[in-house]
Structures are given as C-alpha cells and as structure tokens.
Amino acid sequence: MQVCFFSAQYLPTIGGVERYTYNLAKRLIAAGHQVLVVTSLKPGLAQRETDPSGIRILRVPCYLAMNGRFPFPYPGALKELEKESIDFAVIQTRFYPLSFDASWFCRKKKIPAIVVDHSTGHMPMGNPILNFAGGLYEHFAASYIKRRVNGFYGVSLAVNQWLTHFGIKAKGCLHNAVDPEELEKTASQKDWRAELGLAPDTRLVAFVGRIIPEKGVEPLARAFGALNRQDARLLVAGEGPQLEQLKALGLPGVIFLGAVPYPDVLALLRQADLYCLPTTYAEGFPTTFLEAAACGCPILSTVTGGSKELMPTPDYGIQLEDTNPETWKKALAAALENESWRKEASRLCRANLDAHFTWDRVAGELLTILQSSGR
C-alpha cells in the first residue's frame, strides 16, 4: 500500500508536526508499505528526493507567506500526484492551504483520507482583528475539509475536544509519541553541571522551547528568580524574540543557554530535577513533555493538550491553571524540596508513556486504520 502524508511543513524544518510525520512514515515503511510525503518547496531544497529511511518526498511550489510559516501552493501544484498510485492519505492539520488542496484531490481521486489535528485553540495572529479573521478562516477551512475526508483524529483527547468547536466529532486519537530507546541513544554525554561550573548537587530546572510570550518563559523566570536559591539553577534552552529582553532582567539563578543541539537537550532532560512548561499556547500534545518523561524528568506545567493524559493525577506531575509567578514560585519550591515525589512522578510518567505514547504503538493504531480502509 502507498500512503501519502500531506504536511505543509516537513524536514529539514524542525517542529512537532514534522517529527510526527517522519516517525510514522518511517514505521509504515518498516511495516512494508511505501510512503510519499507531500510538502512545501523551500529555497535550497530538492523538489523530489528519497531519504535514508526510504521516505519519498515531493515538495510542491508555494507562495511562502508569513516568512514561510503559512505556505500557499501554486494553482495546480498537486498535478504531479496524478502520476502516483496512492491508496491512503494522512493530512496533517486542518487549516493549511495544502490541506484544502489535499482534501479536494483525495475526494476527486476517491482516496480514503484522514486529518490528524495538532492544536487546541485558534492560531494566534498577533492582534485582535487578525485573530478574529483567523478564526473565521479556520471555521471555513474545517467546514470545507470535513466534507471531503473520512474522519479526523487528534494527537490528544484535548485536541478531540477542541474539534467539537468546529462541529467535528473525532474518530479517535493518534497520539503524539516518542521512541524512548532512540532518545537514549541520541542523548549526548554532556555534563551540564560541569559545563556551567556548578556543584554536582546543584538542582537543575529545565525549560526547552521557543522564547515567546505564549510559552510562559517570563513568568517562569520571574518565579524562579524570586526563589533566590543558591543550590538551584533554571536552564532555559532555546531562542526567540524575548530572549534578549529576558536576559536583561538579570534574574538570579536563571541561565539562558540559547540554541542547544538536540542531543544536548536530551542530556539536559536526563540530568534535570524538574522540567517546566508554563505554556498558554494552544498545544496539541507538546513533544517536550514526552521527551522529559522518557528521560526520567518530572514535570511541572500549565494544563495543556495531552497533559492530563500523560499526568492523570498529581502523583504523575503537577499541573497549574495559570502562569501567575507567585503560584509558580510556590510550586517550584515544593517540587524542588520533595525528592520522593520527583522520583515517583518520573517513574509513573515513564510507565504511562511506555504503555500509551510510543511511536510503535501509534503506528500500530494507524496500520489498523489503513487495514480497515478497504483499499
């Protein structure tokens, strides 16, 4: 069977949807299927190629709006697909213009297709007027696409709940996931405490992600700085428009690492005493949650997509309702003082991940959907 993934963004662009597509595609090939990924053509990339895993990639010409974040395929961009024999399609997210074209193409060719959705809120556009316009566009997109596909699946139950906002009842979940063994092999041997000249018993709190307001780095940094602990450090790994502004605050115990290679990020999560994600973004199921759980790092976060599935009770991880710095200060202090909770939370979270959120399990669920498609 040949399976086609439509993903507006794909490798070498790095992000949650891109990794999700790659990991499922790789496992479908291992199961004996052929995979074609249709994505956006960006400067410096080949229009067609096959990667080392055997994944064939077709990049279609696009207008790269919003600095490439929102590509619009050229009219007739999918004409190249007329040459392909596609048995099943997976369309990543419901709002990209490529998803419109993909749903139309699959309906025309009578190809069974599903949409996998990755968000729990409207896409933020930067101001109230654009947010309103963006919301109208998303409703139109959902209405158009849902009439042309066989069903929707979310990467978490929270995503499925959000889809009801568009009058869509999801058929199930194809969860975001990780491969714990692969992460263990990928992690570097970097000793972060030695690298930063810290004592071996220094407690490390980690944040990994874009330094943008929606990720809550500022309230986290202010809360940690207010603790003013000599025996702990907050290590912030990532870049973004807020980085220099937050550095200038000079908050005690907060170290901004900038961009960190992925193997070193995994080493940080393996060594940290606590991972924090105070996000207010419409996360579907943050990959960093799963990476932290796989690396044995307990989690303190806001309630967001997937958080209640990975951490169903406070024994598994702490979830806060907002990003109020005073609330976070108290939660940080409690988590850092309670070593027995940290050990038990990391054990429970890892067991839950191994049971439900690995790529092998999710690929098996997708294979079941393929087998029931009748092709």
Mean pLDDT by 10 residues, the chain (375 residues): 96 89 97 97 95 97 84 92 94 92 96 96 82 91 95 97 96 97 96 97 96 94 95 96 94 96 97 96 91 98 95 97 95 97 98 97 96 77
At 309 the pLDDT is 97
At 70 the pLDDT is 84
Taking Cα atoms as reference points, which of 202, 176, 189, 211 lies closest to residue 293?
Answer: 176
At 282 the pLDDT is 81
Query: Where along the chain do its domains lie?
Result: 2-177+358-371, 181-356
At 87 the pLDDT is 96
At 281 the pLDDT is 84
**Shared fold status for 2-177+358-371 and 181-356:** yes
CB atoms within 10 A of CB 17: 22
Asked whether 354 and 361 are in contact (CB, 8 A), the reply is: no
Helices (H), the chain: 16-30, 97-109, 128-146, 157-163, 180-186, 192-195, 217-227, 243-247, 262-271, 287-294, 307-310, 325-337, 339-356, 359-371
Report phi then psi at 90, rounded to 5: -120, 115
Distance of CA 372 to the CA centre of its chain: 27
CATH topology of domain 181-356: Rossmann fold (3.40.50)
166-185: pLDDT as tens digits: 999 999 999 999 999 999 99
At 177 the pLDDT is 98
Asked whether 29 and 53 are in contact (CB, 8 A), the reply is: yes
At 19 the pLDDT is 92
At 374 the pLDDT is 65
Q: Between 3.40.50.2000, 3.40.50.280, 3.30.980.20, 3.40.50.2300, what CATH number should domain 2-177+358-371 receive?
A: 3.40.50.2000
pTM for the structure as a whole:
0.92
Asked whether 54 and 29 are in contact (CB, 8 A), the reply is: yes
